[in-house]
Chain A
Amino acid sequence: MAGAVSALFLLDIKGRVLVWRDYRGDVSALQAERFFTKLLDKEGDSEAHSPVVYDDAGVTYMFIQHNNVFLLTASRQNCNAASILLFLHRVVDVFKHYFEELEEESLRDNFVVVYELLDEMMDFGYPQYTEAKILSEFIKTDAYRMEVSQRPPMAVTNAVSWRSEGIRYKKNEVFLDVVESVNILVNSNGQIVRSDVVGALKMRTYLSGMPECKLGLNDRVLLEAQGRATKGKAIDLDDIKFHQCVRLARFENDRTISFIPPDGSFDLMTYRLSTQVKPLIWVEAQIEKHSRSRIELMVKARSQFKERSTATNVEIEVPVPSDATNPNIRTSMGSAAYAPERDAMVWKVKSFPGGKDYMCRAEFSLPSITAEEAAPEKKAPIRVKFEIPYFTVSGIQVRYLKIIEKSGYQALPWVRYITMAGEYELRLI
């Protein structure tokens, strides 16, 4: 079983080809453009389309969208769909690394480099190499271009394909951010339908040479395997995903997280916790529609975490009918405003300490005349955003981060913890 794509297209928002690279000569740009523009016309909304579409001429198109650019592949073979779609996302990352933002303009401004990158990242329709940092060592934009580089960086074909040799820093430092996103869905009857926590260990490394790193977490499986008395809390992580630099076989063997990190920032690992957590911020809304003239909202928000923690940048979005006018809003804390472009009232509280209750009341006018057969109102949920620094839901702790390099330098790791709202939704009745 094998499969490669025939060509990769970068298209504008209307589906017209901006730049394309032909890998196999069996799908033309005209053919792809014609198909894709028609597809966009038909639905008008790219959201509605599945990202894998088949035309009657035996070609499969797969695409993603980024800003005002579509990235599209055409293929006549049974190629690996997951791999190709993910590759397109990586292409976006690489372009963003090069041009800061990927959009129609930046593609035009850099078409020479775009061609070079497309040639290097994919060969004959097979994904090859997508490490932006290493690519930029031998494919450079004008401003940085020097004479012919003498060889491809070792990293391109090395087992350590994500880091080049010979990196030097005066001060060797590592920053480790533990970021946990709480996803929650609460039903209109107040019942928690689903909740999970997705955590990420985001690293920024400024380390010289080829450092060997070893990370220790309060992972229950590891601690129990080592027969160690668990002082403090040990935690269970449901599913862990590692950056490709982590030696997976080693982890499978003895749960050791060992790796040579890439230079700069990357996600070392992500994990998921499906144990149900108490909603950190609970929101209740009472909505009263008075005849057809006005609507009253009463929103209560309660922080359900310990008092020593404080949530910051709390933003509660409560949907209101799209034809509401004349807002009249009062809050016991923070400020709230009508955001007609989102069909919602947005209530912001800069600092929300644990164990507090805040209130917000609002009144809107409604037009007294409505269409006879009004389409059902979009039933958006209440959505909440917040950040709680120095706090994790899971209780994950970085016990140590050992860094060993043959030059023997000392490097200090800095660790921060933060919890954020992910997809935090409370359905209204």
Chain B
Amino acid sequence: MSGHDSKYFSTTKKGEIPELKEELNSQYKDKRKDAVKKVIAAMTVGKDVSSLFTDVVNCMQTENLELKKLVYLYLINYAKSQPDLAILAVNTFVKDSQDPNPLIRALAVRTMGCIRVDKITEYLCDPLQRCLKDDDPYVRKTAAICVAKLYDINAELVEDRGFLEALKDLISDNNPMVVANAVAALAEIQDSSTRPIFEITSHTLSKLLTALNECTEWGQVFILDSLSRYKAADAREAENIVERVTPRLQHANCAVVLSAVKIILLQMELITSTDVVRNLCKKMAPPLVTLLSAEPEIQYVALRNINLIVQKRPTILAHEIKVFFCKYNDPIYVKMEKLEIMIKLASDRNIDQVLLEFKEYATEVDVDFVRKAVRAIGRCAIKLERAAERCISVLLELIKIKVNYVVQEAIIVIKDIFRRYPNTYESIIATLCESLDTLDEPEAKASMIWIIGEYAERIDNADELLESFLETFPEEPALVQLQLLTATVKLFLKKPTEGPQQMIQAAKDVVLAEKPVISDDSNQLDSSLLDDLLANISTLSSVYHKPPEAFVSRVKTAPRADDEEFADTAETGYSESPSQGVDGASPSSSAGTSSNVPVKQPAAPAAPAPMPDLLGDLMGMDNSIVPVDEPTAPSGPPLPVLLPSTTGQGLQISAQLVRRDGQIFYDISFDNGTQTVLDGFMIQFNKNTFGLAAGGALQVSPLQPGTSARTLLPMVAFQNLSPGAPSSLLQVAVKNNQQPVWYFNDKIPMHAFFGEDGKMERTSFLEAWKSLPDDNEFSKEFPSSVVSSIDATVEHLAASNVFFIAKRKNSNKDVLYMSAKIPRGIPFLIELTAAVGVPGVKCAVKTPNKEMVALFFEAMESLLK
């Protein structure tokens, strides 16, 4: 069934657009349809046909589904350039969304969601609401995705109209495809929001696992990928999940298999029974091997992932190294990845066979591949001490072939082998020296010179050899020059002709000092990064071996409305504590671990993330942060728990604002109850009444499991003031490299702001009292507070910068007059009335700043507790 649409691409010479316009307005249906096809054909080859907007939209009301689809397609392309005219289409859209034919209803919402024009979006809400509850699952599954589209355009509208709830309801839909699409939509919305929206509970978990058995292969991938965010409560639940997911390993679709492997690996972390773990490892091996029979592109993704998996669980594929041997027709990018994995799986048991393979590869024609094969031999030598000698003899055989780039590569790796096993294999130096003249690559030259310098005393003609290099010294690149200098000095020190012995000895101590032994670097990824990547199996992150933040460039949805005023200054970075994760992303090693495949991989993120940062977005922060060097080690009474470990996935956070030496600090403590090291802690505060913000970097060193750390974070005030009525609410967000962002609320105790300068003279107190109108006087009873001794109370309050001025007796009660001051010179004139030993304190206060009174009472009450 082949078409003949190409005729629509042919054009007449004279004025195409006017002619099309005429045809679009023809009274004959067929002519109009042909005209629309011509318009789409023109659009396809990149001609601008937006001027026909009105005429095309006029063809929209048709019974012909094909024509309708074409007009819709046109709208998706041009509505943005003609937003005012796009409104013409709204009526038909709305009408179509109620058409008796579900295909047309779905088509209408699907298309409306793709038109990113505000005016259309407004009209989308009602049809979408209906379609989410449509009788036909085809319409519901389309509507589910449409919610994600709308969220991308206007997140607020989605929340206001309750679409999130509707979407969550669809997780319980009886149709598996609807469930799968709802999951995909929710996962996407969650990704672009910092609030928890899509939380998988044990209830949703069972719904998802059920839908997994019935939905299409693509839907299964959505569901499995969303399950990777679920943390099982205990080993039993983890085993349960694994049991339900394991059958997916038998699916013909490789993406389903990989996502299932991801879930199993993640849940395995929680499973304690070694038998179960061993069994699972055994079960995963055959499906992973079978992935290598897939299309080469899929193989590539699989190999990048297997690279990660063998770093975490080397046993899974320990006996399968043969399947990674390269086939003659494998594309080069597959061969390169196979080589990496062969190195990782090489062991004393299989090294002979592996070396035979490497040797075979080293005589192929693709230069990059050959080089990598030679390096691979070197890496095996460094990794496996007992096989080093065999590796070297293979390298020597290769040098004998005298293929220039093979020789150079071999010399580079032999240098590394010498460093790894000093004073062991020097006997081969003579053979190496034979190839001296053929070296023309800087790295190979530098390596050879290093070898000559290092073993100068054993090479009879070392001086001659070095001299031969010196002739071209000025032309050499810095790398070679540097090596030549060092080698010359070494030569001099080892074979001194004459000179002051003392100086030579001193120089010897430096230049000829024992070098640290280099080690095997084939398991190069930092363990926390590795875990991150394993949670991302099958995704781009696992292909790049970089965390998603390093390359995802998707623009986050706009910040909440009240943040708009800060939008342009919202480029706040986190205050960062020492972190180790990010740099580990770019493997660097002398033995050439980085892949030679000409694939461009995203760079690791620079310290302040290039995209708008999460917290800044949510909270509209604009405080810039001054790093403070000396971490303050606090101690003292236990702090109130603000983030219980149950909410924090094992991390417990306790904190309190305190005042020390006239400065405000956030006394914060972290308890790591998780199984992993947590690092890279950062903190951020939402806008608040006092404009409190972090005044320095959060100093928390990487936190081992089961340990805790407490620190004093200096705070600055009046940095990010929130408008509106004063409130003691302090919203805090904390993140680290391993976990999601945690949010919790704290209270700002106003007394932390009471200044040391708050003491007033009696006279000025009286004057101030009198000068303030009575309107500014407030009083409050603290029924549960007790003054047990006047002196103790006075002293206690003075410690918090509430200063005593005078007292008098009123019948059986004592009246105390006191003063306090908060920044910006706002005084509080206080009168406390209490009977010693009797519960109940009356507090009266006069202050020019009436709004603060409520907070003031809160503070006084807590001080008098």
Contact = CB atoms under 8 A, between A and B. Distances in A.
A and B found bound together: yes
B258 interface: yes
A49 B544 contact: no
B141 interface: yes
B553 A58 contact: yes
A111 B5 contact: yes
Interface in A23-44: 23-26, 29, 42-43
Contacts of A238: 286, 289
A52 B247 CA distance: 29
Given A2-B188, A124-B145, A379-B364, A115 B69 contact: yes
Contact of B329 (A247, A270, A423): A423
B302 interface: yes
B616 interface: no
Interface in B167-195: 175-178, 181, 184, 187-188, 190-191
Q: Contact residue range for chain A?
A: 35 or more
Interface stretch (B19-27, B218-226, B476-484): B218-226
B177 A81 contact: no
A152 B44 contact: no
A116 B66 contact: yes
Interface in A91-132: 98-100, 105-106, 108-113, 115-116, 119, 123-124, 126-130
A422 to B, nearest CB: 9
A282 interface: no
A3 B539 contact: yes
B295 interface: yes
B253 interface: yes
Contacts of B247: 248-249, 251-252
Interface of A is mostly: mixed
Interface stretch (B567-575, B597-605, B678-686): B597-605
A4 B148 CA distance: 11
A50 B356 contact: no
A78 B286 contact: no
A234 B844 CA distance: 94
Interface in B61-82: 63-66, 69-70, 73, 76-77, 80
Interface stretch (B156-164, B319-327, B691-699): B319-327
Given A51-B300, A272-B290, A248 B213 contact: yes
Given A54-B544, A141-B1, A248-B247, A112 B552 contact: no
B248 interface: yes
B40 A251 contact: no
Interface string B94-131: 00000001111010001001101000000000000000
Nearest to A245: B252
Contact of B252 (A77, A85, A241, A375): A241
A47 B103 contact: no
Contacts of B226: 1-2
A3 B333 contact: no
Nearest to A105: B6
Contacts of B137: 157
A89 B538 contact: no
Interface in A54-79: 54-60, 62, 64, 75-79
B819 interface: no
Given A59-B553, A82-B254, A157-B178, A381 B328 contact: yes
B403 interface: yes
B545 to A, nearest CB: 12
A48 interface: yes
A123 B110 contact: yes
A43 B4 CA distance: 35
A248 B113 CA distance: 36
A225 interface: no
Interface residues of B, number: 127
Contacts of B80: 25
B606 interface: no
B241 to A, nearest CB: 14
Interface string B540-569: 111110001001111100000000000000
Contacts of A140: 1
A106 B552 contact: no
Contact of A109 (B4, B146, B216, B229): B4
Contacts of A198: 293
Nearest to B1: A141
B454 interface: no
B273 interface: no
Interface stretch (A143-151, A283-291, A400-408): A143-151
Contact of B221 (A60, A83, A240, A252): A83
A126 B213 CA distance: 19
B353 interface: yes
Contact of B101 (A85, A148, A244, A274): A148
Contacts of B145: 123-124, 126
B332 interface: yes
B133 interface: no
A83 B554 contact: no
Contacts of A127: 218, 221
Contacts of B540: 3, 52, 60, 75, 78-79, 81
Contact of A376 (B73, B294, B357, B365): B365
A22 interface: yes
B536 interface: yes
Given A60-B540, A89-B295, A1 B221 contact: no
B46 interface: yes
B152 A24 contact: yes
Contacts of B418: none
A239 to B, nearest CB: 3
B69 A86 contact: no
Contact of B403 (A17, A109, A193, A376): A376
Given A112-B37, A241-B290, A244-B251, A138 B103 contact: yes
Given A83-B218, A126-B184, A242-B252, 10 more contacts: A51-B297, A52-B544, A109-B5, A149-B65, A159-B215, A248-B247, A251-B247, A252-B246, A252-B247, A423-B328
11 contacts: A1-B228, A47-B332, A49-B598, A54-B601, A78-B548, A89-B298, A116-B66, A126-B184, A129-B216, A157-B137, A378-B365
Interface of A: 1-4, 17-19, 22-26, 29, 42-43, 47-60, 62, 64, 75-83, 85-89, 98-100, 105-106, 108-113, 115-116, 119, 123-124, 126-130, 138, 140-145, 147-152, 156-157, 159, 161, 185, 187-188, 193-194, 196, 198, 238-244, 246-249, 251-252, 267, 269-270, 272, 274, 375-381, 383, 423, 425, 427
Q: Would you list the 6 A-B pairs with minimal beta carbon distance, nearest first? A: A58-B553, A239-B286, A2-B187, A83-B255, A248-B247, A51-B297
